[in-house]
Amino acid sequence: MMTGKEYRESIRKLKRRVFILGEEVQDVVDHPLTRPHVNAAALTYELAEDPQHQDLMTATSHLTGRRINRFTHIHQSTGDLVKKVKMLRLLGRRTGTCFQRCVGWDALNALYNVTYEVDLKHGTQYFQRLTRFLVHVQDADLMSEGAMTDPKGDRSLPPSKQPDPDMYLHVVARRDDGIVVRGAKLHQTGAVNSHEIIVMPTTALKEEDKDYAVACAVPSDAPGLLFVFGRQASDERRLSGKLDQGNPRFGFVGGEAMVIFDNVFVPWERVFLHGEHEFALPLVETFASYHRQNYGGCKTGVADVLIGAAALMAQYNGVVSSPHIRDKLVEMVQLAETLYACSISCSSEGRPTPAGACYVDPLLANTAKLNTTRNIYEICRLAHDITGGLLATSPSERDLLHPEVGPFIRKYFKGASEVPAEARLRLARLIEGMTGCTALAESMHGAGSPQALRIGLARQANLNEKMELAKALAGLDEGEKP
């Protein structure tokens, strides 16, 4: 397994085209806008070295029998699924943000299950290809990025009917040695600091859409790939002092980017779906369920930090003993633990798959993520309530250091018991960043929008069975008219 230092060096060696604020950047490891995201991902390697955390952070490969980083593991049991959630909470508590390796991990687990089913029906060799690729990922301890979300263009039209066919990534050429794909993937967490891009379709497909039914693995420095790093709220503060950054080591959210596939060649050995359109939806749903499982883990870990920050701010403000403050903190805890309970339950209720892996309960996974779209907003609202107005109007670090106004800031922003002004300002910036627009939007739309979650719940709710239960208790025989 790689160390955190080795991970940084491996990313630094990649020759890619990354654009940030209109400029091409050669090294994302040291760029101030991407360095925090690299640091957060590096922690997934660093904690795997720590004997205290190896039970959660590492696993034994069922393919090779070797010890591997859990982020490259194929879940073999409900115990693996539960450890996944506990590990994500641990990392959320340590970083206060996204550590970016989940999406690619979930993509590999989804493909492991679905390629097995494709091979059974079509006699293809996708599962064998994927297994060989997995051994490579595990042995090299690579960070994979899961690329699912297409631009979609006119959402009322399927991929094959789009005025611009590139609105969904698709195959544009087939060769003896592989395929050529073109299109883009948006909102890609950790893309600029990953080794591999795992491409998947983003929606159900029909026969006429079969060119869009493609799944493959692309090295992140493959010719034709372009990365455009996304803006985040207040991201230019990373060019300022540490106080203004809020979370200077790890930043906020996951460093999302647009990934452009400008006629990218993929050898057949790295192609895991090619035209089998009927398996696009099963792949999407399998991936989505694995990914929605995560949110009660990572988001609860991040919430632990935010709850702690809100309690500390109440202490700094001299109101930590007020009954209404205690009530709000307790409510924040209840909301966070509800998310955690959902993720633990969907893991514990997992089941074996034909491929020999273990799959979460999709109904409970959807419930976990739908709760996240509400509970995180409420946790953030309560943090804002407790923190007070300095959250939105605090002066900058440069003002604090100014020879004339700095002394006034240090005087008037002091807290209870002579809490220094700088301490309150640092904490306010942390809470501001953790509850800002980018963090909330990710909680809402990451792993699927609320409507996508409701569609999943409607499919899995089995209302017919529930109606039969009601009929039995009401004494209504089959076919009897009330």
Distance between alpha carbon 24 and the CA centroid of its chain, in Å? 25
Q: List beta partners, residue 24.
A: 19
- Tell me whether residue 357 is in a domain: yes
The yes-or-no answer on residue 102 being catalytic is yes
Domain residue limits at 361: 290-473
Structure tokens at 40: 């957060």
- Tell me whether residue 478 is in a domain: no
Give the residue, 445 or 431, on which the prediction is more confident. Answer: 431
Q: Domain ends where: 276, 310, 335?
A: 276
**Residue 90: which CATH number?**
2.40.110.10
- pLDDT at position 464 is 85
* Contact (CB, 8 A) for 201 and 243: no
pLDDT for residue 235 is more than 70: yes
Say whether both 160 and 244 belong to one domain: yes
Catalytic entry in 117, 276, 432, 442: 442
Give the residue, 474 or 230, on which the prediction is more confident. Answer: 230
- Tell me whether residue 479 is in a domain: no
Catalytic entry in 45, 116, 295, 316: 295
Taking only the tens place, the pLDDT of each residue in 42-64 is 999 999 999 999 999 999 999 99
Rg over alpha carbons for the chain, rounded to the nearest Å, is 24
The yes-or-no answer on residue 340 being catalytic is no
Taking only the tens place, the pLDDT of each residue in 242-258 is 888 888 899 888 889 99
Catalytic entry in 44, 124, 149, 189: 189
Give the residue, 472 or 212, on which the prediction is more confident. Answer: 212
Catalytic entry in 216, 298, 342, 346: 298
The yes-or-no answer on residue 342 being catalytic is no
- Tell me whether residue 296 is in a domain: yes
Say whether both 162 and 296 belong to one domain: no
Of 110, 126, 109, which is closest to residue 118 (Cα–Cα)? 126
**Residue 331: which CATH number?**
1.20.140.10
Say whether both 310 and 417 belong to one domain: yes
How does residue 237 score in pLDDT terms, banded at 50, 70 and 90? confident
Q: Mean pLDDT throughout 390-411? A: 93
Taking only the tens place, the pLDDT of each residue in 63-83 is 999 999 999 999 999 999 999
Give the residue, 323 or 440, on which the prediction is more confident. Answer: 323
- pLDDT at position 230 is 93
- Order of strands, sheet of 257-267, starting from the edge strand that comes earlier in the sequence: 23-25, 18-20, 225-229, 257-267, 178-188, 170-175
The yes-or-no answer on residue 380 being catalytic is no
Distance between alpha carbon 6 and the CA centroid of its chain, in Å? 23
Angle at 441 between CA 70 and CA 202, to 5 degrees: 65
Catalytic entry in 145, 196, 256, 276: 256
Q: Of 264-273, 310-319, 415-424, 469-478, which gets the smallest average pLDDT?
A: 469-478
* Contact (CB, 8 A) for 220 and 14: yes
Catalytic entry in 31, 44, 72, 102: 102
User: What percent of the chain clears pLDDT 70, i.e. is strictly above it?
Assistant: 97
- Count of structural domains within the chain: 2
Say whether both 327 and 263 belong to one domain: no
Q: List beta partners, residue 260.
A: 184, 226
The yes-or-no answer on residue 207 being catalytic is no
Say whether both 262 and 300 belong to one domain: no
User: What percent of the chain clears pLDDT 90, i.e. is strictly above it?
Assistant: 82
Give Dmax over CA atoms of the chain in angstroms.
86
- pLDDT at position 454 is 78
- Tell me whether residue 48 is in a domain: yes
What region, left, alpha or beta, does residue 63 occupy, with left being phi > 0 and alpha being psi -120 to 50 degrees?
A: alpha
- pLDDT at position 447 is 63
Taking only the tens place, the pLDDT of each residue in 163-200 is 999 999 999 999 999 999 999 999 999 999 999 999 99
Distance between alpha carbon 326 and the CA centroid of its chain, in Å? 31
- Tell me whether residue 152 is in a domain: yes
Which parts of 200-335 are beta strand (E)?
214-219, 225-229, 257-267, 271-274
- pLDDT at position 479 is 59
- The torsion angles phi and psi of 71, rounded to 5 degrees, stand at -70, 0
State the Cα–Cα distance between residues 82 and 360, nearest whole angstrom: 10
CB neighbours of residue 397 within 10 Å: 20
- Tell me whether residue 170 is in a domain: yes
Say whether both 218 and 362 belong to one domain: no
Say whether both 329 and 187 belong to one domain: no
Q: Is the dihedral of CA 262, 267, 270, 276 positive or negative?
A: positive
330-365: burial string, b at 16+ Cβ within 10 Å, e else? eebeebbbbbbebbbbbbeebeebebebbbbbbbbb
- Tell me whether residue 312 is in a domain: yes
The yes-or-no answer on residue 442 being catalytic is yes
Distance between alpha carbon 220 and the CA centroid of its chain, in Å? 18
- pLDDT at position 481 is 59
Q: Domain ends where: 276, 298, 322?
A: 276
Catalytic entry in 291, 358, 367, 397: 291
Structure tokens at 375: 């509970």
Say whether both 165 and 63 belong to one domain: yes
Of 272, 156, 178, 159, which is closest to residue 224 (Cα–Cα)? 178
